[in-house]
């Protein structure tokens, strides 16, 4: 039986901002866990490597600090169930390393689950497509009210690149800002650079590029804008993945970006 893998937290009616938190959770339903080939110890290590730890907490704290509270769309399941940020088809570059919408490989390139098209389709039907539809519906609803909406895609990444990746050798600054040529206007990039400056140096689309936009709007509606916040984990987490004083700084930076968007 599939369970709803997402949560929507309503913001202020006049808010133009939706925070999307896709990779913060570690929960895996039992029937999905049974298909994962890793031992419990190996699975914990993989979750420690692949989870954007405490990014949900960052988003919630930023919301608390915001005068006009954004709406939140949060993935309650681990990305090892499905990764809602991937294209569910041949457009997805991460298919090349077995980490498309349904991962077949781990962060070190070992087998996560056996390749089975029927199981992959079931996971997409149970979790990926309902998630995508619900987020699309939220954007539709908010867009109808406000006439413009900005999605902020809230992520983090580890200090060291994992072996099974496609972007080796790139810089790993305190902040990476992911943009899209169509959906990220200059004003939004500049607002993010200003807000995130309190965290540290930033790079655009390095080591991660792009940002989430519902496919029904992708490259079609320029008033649906989007930007990805990729915070290097050591700026707010210890080596044991516990938050330190930098957590408040990261949350304040995100709250400042929300404020700058609302000013427009």
Tens-place pLDDT, residues 147-171: 999 999 999 999 998 888 777 778 9
Query: Quick check: 117 pLDDT over 90?
Result: yes
| pLDDT band, residue 54 (cuts 50/70/90) | very high
Q: Which residue has the higher pLDDT, 197 or 165?
A: 197
Encoded tokens for 74: 């949060």
Please give the Cα distance from 136 to 134 (Å, whole number). 5
3-state helix, strand, coil in the chain (%, to 5): 35, 20, 45
Encoded tokens for 253: 């930076």
Lowest mean pLDDT among 134-143, 159-168, 239-248: 159-168
Q: What's the confidence (pLDDT) of residue 165?
A: 79
Using a pLDDT cut of 90, give the percent of the chain over it: 88
CB 16 within 8 A of CB 148: yes
For residue 93, the 8-state DSSP code is: G
Q: What's the confidence (pLDDT) of residue 64?
A: 98
Please give the Cα distance from 15 to 171 (Å, whole number). 34
Relative to beta strand 6-9, strand 71-75 is: antiparallel
The helix (run of H) or strand (run of E) holding residue 71 is: strand 71-75
| pLDDT band, residue 43 (cuts 50/70/90) | very high
Q: In the chain, what are the domains?
A: 6-263 (3.40.630.40)
Q: Which residue has the higher pLDDT, 129 or 97?
A: 129
Q: How far is CA 143 from CA 16, 84, 131, in A?
A: 8, 21, 18
What mean pLDDT is reported for the chain?
95
DSSP per residue, 75-86: E-S-TTT--TTS
My answer on whether omega of the bond before 207 falls inside 30° of 0, hence cis, is yes
Please give the Cα distance from 51 to 84 (Å, whole number). 13
| pLDDT band, residue 68 (cuts 50/70/90) | very high
Instruction: Order across the sheet with 202-204: list the strands.
Output: 6-9, 71-75, 17-21, 149-157, 224-232, 175-178, 202-204
Q: Which runs of consecutive H residues, i.e. helices, occur in the chain?
A: 30-33, 40-50, 55-65, 117-123, 129-146, 186-196, 246-263
Please give the Cα distance from 67 to 50 (Å, whole number). 32
Lowest mean pLDDT among 28-42, 83-97, 217-231: 83-97
Please give the Cα distance from 17 to 148 (Å, whole number). 9
């Amino acid at each position: 039986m599939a369970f709803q893998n997402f949560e929507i937290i309503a913001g202020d009616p006049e808010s133009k901002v939706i925070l999307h938190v896709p990779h913060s959770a570690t929960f895996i339903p039992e029937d999905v866990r049974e298909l994962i080939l890793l031992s419990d110890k190996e699975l914990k290590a993989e979750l420690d490597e692949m989870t954007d730890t405490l990014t949900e907490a960052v988003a919630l704290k930023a919301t608390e600090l915001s005068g006009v509270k954004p709406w939140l769309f949060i993935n309650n399941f681990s990305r090892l169930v499905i990764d809602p940020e991937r294209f569910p088809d041949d457009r997805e570059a991460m298919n090349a390393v077995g980490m498309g919408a349904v991962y077949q490989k781990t962060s070190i390139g070992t087998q996560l689950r056996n390749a089975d098209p029927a199981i992959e389709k079931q996971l997409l039907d149970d979790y990926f497509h309902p998630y995508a539809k619900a987020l699309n519906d939220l954007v539709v609803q908010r867009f109808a009210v406000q006439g413009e909406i900005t999605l902020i895609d809230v992520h983090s990444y580890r200090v060291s690149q994992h072996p099974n990746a496609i972007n080796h050798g790139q810089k790993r600054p305190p902040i990476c800002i992911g943009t899209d040529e169509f959906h990220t206007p200059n004003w939004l990039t500049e607002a993010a650079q200003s807000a995130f400056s309190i965290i540290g140096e930033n790079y655009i689309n390095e080591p991660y590029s792009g940002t989430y936009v519902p496919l029904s709007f992708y490259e079609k509606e320029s008033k649906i804008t989007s930007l990805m916040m990729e915070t290097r984990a050591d700026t707010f987490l210890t080596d044991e993945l516990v938050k330190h004083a930098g957590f408040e700084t990261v949350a304040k930076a995100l709250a400042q970006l929300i404020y700058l968007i609302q000013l427009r």
